[in-house]
Amino acid sequence: MEFLSPVWSSAMEGSSAKRRLRGLAGATVAIVDDNLDIPFTTRLEVLLAERAGATVRRLVKPSGTAPSPPALIDDAAQADVAVVGIGL
Amino acid sequence: MNLISERLDIEEYEEAIELFYSKGWTDGLPVVLPTPRRVEALIAHVGREPQESLGPVPPKGGPATIEKLAVNAVMGGCRPEHFPVVLAAMEALMDPAHNLNGVSQTTHMCVSLIIVNGPIARELNFNSRDGVFGNGYRANAAVGRAVRLALWNLGGATPWDTDKATLSHPGEYAFCIAEEEEDNPWAPLHVDRGCPPGSDAVTVFACEGPHSVFCYGTPEEMLHVLADSMCSLGNNNMHVMGQMLVTLNPINAEEFHRRGWSKEDVRQYLWEHARRPIGDVRACGVVHEQFRKMEQDAGRYPLRYDLVNPTTRVPVTREPKDIHMVVAGGRSYFASVLPGWGGFGGFAVTRQIRRPGGR
């Protein structure tokens, strides 16, 4: 019997990650701020800058529950590291 | 017919069934095996180009081509005549207003319900009566599951990966009803939403499973219990509004109509009375408060309410029109309330069903 596959093999493959950094000192870190918990995210921003010595760029999504606009994703991709989600 | 899907050649039926499990191509239930002949029959029925795409299915973005949707529809148990309903549902789900990307990945339990309206519902034997949310009807089950399998296989929304639902609900297997249009004194949902009378349409709305409402008696008594059931503090609507669905059974609708209540009258009354004092809402905690603030900042929570005064009564939706009303179920004592995801998305979208030959 012959059957057809229900998936796209290429679409399901993840994209490759950037090279892992040795440390955050001097690195540019993008925080994709999902606009859900502003005090928490602000605290993270301060810690990354003061404790880890990173240059932080905070990119605020218009909504925490809708996809990031493509321009915001492109912007975050320019950083050495991007924080794209925070679990509480 | 030019089909481009990978072909698998397997001798044994049992081996083929197990292959779909081992590849992660099924939702946990066995599938109807998608032979080229069955898939071609669905595509031929709708007369559309196999490689036409309805767009990328979030979250992972596999293209929703007619061919891939047909493969998944066969797996879900669809016959060719069910396929136009599947395509209309997918078009509705992928409208940005529905925010399928968010619905598929939220920690909330919402699942996109498919509501079928029009003559096609009766022709294909969709259930709109006793046990409407339950089992026993191929059309509801096959169309509902076809859509879920498409989201599974093309969108990659699986619970061990991108689907972050804390609990979810059984509608993840299939969640499809039809509205009862014959035993119903009011205009059906799709006509309320702008489709011509007599047309065929699907409406999708992301919501919890149905909450039973013991609803029988005079209009005032029915409205009393419905309004109370709608404004539970546990639902998202009470905190961040959005949309909600109410189903009334044919006896409920008949009684309202007999006593001079239009559907709009009922909707307006529920909007005005399904409310809680903001003090009660605030007592749920600061996280709830933060979500409400986010919605205010995004312009989705109205500013007209004095939220500083704890006695201010706030509604479950921004406007009366955000309470969707459908007549469904048996002639009995029960209605249901289906809260939505809140203001974050999952909003109702309606699409007309394109019948073969343009009927």
Picking from B57, B59, B316, B349, the residue whose alpha carbon sits closest to that of residue B205 is B349
Q: Which residues share a beta bridge with A31?
A: A58, A83
B350 and B321 fall within a common domain: no
Same domain, residue pair B356 and B312 = no
Give me the number of domains chain B comprises.
Answer: 2
User: b or e along B122-141 (b: 16 or more beta carbons within 10 Å of the residue's beta carbon)?
Assistant: eebebbbbeebbeeebebbb
For A22-36, B28-42, B123-137, B184-198, which range has the lowest pLDDT when averaged over its residues? A22-36
The single residue listed with the structure tokens 């009766």 is: B122
Closest by CA position to B54, among listed B36, B41, B72, B40: B72
Whether B153 has its CB under 8 Å from any CB of chain A: the answer is yes
Greater pLDDT, A50 or A61: A50
d(CA A51, CA B253): 64
The CA distance from B114 to the nearest CA of chain A, in Å, is 21
Spatial separation of the C-alpha atoms in residues A81 and B218, rounded to whole Å: 62
A-B CB pairs within 8 A amount to 95
What pLDDT was estimated at residue A13?
52
ipTM, 2 decimals? 0.93
Q: Determine, yes or no, domain membership for B18.
A: yes
Provide the residue range defining the domain that includes B233.
211-339
Q: Please compute the mean of the pLDDT values over residues B224-249 and round it to a whole number.
A: 97
What local confidence, expressed as pLDDT, does residue B10 receive?
A: 96
B220: confidence class by pLDDT, cuts 50, 70, 90? very high
Q: Does B16 touch chain A (CB under 8 A)?
A: yes
> Is residue B2 a part of any domain in this protein?
no
Within-domain flag for B32 = yes
Please indicate whether, in this complex, the C-beta atoms of A63 and B101 are within 8 angstroms of each other.
Answer: no
For chain A, give every domain's residue range.
28-83
Q: What is the pLDDT of residue A12?
A: 46
Residue of B nearest to A38 (CA): B290
Is the peptide bond preceding residue B59 cis, with omega within 30 degrees of 0? yes
Same domain, B253 and B168: no
- Kindly tell me if the per-residue pLDDT of B216 is higher than 80: yes
Q: What is the percent of chain B with per-residue pLDDT over 90, rounded to a whole number?
A: 93
In a domain, B4, yes or no: no
Element spanning B159, H or E = none
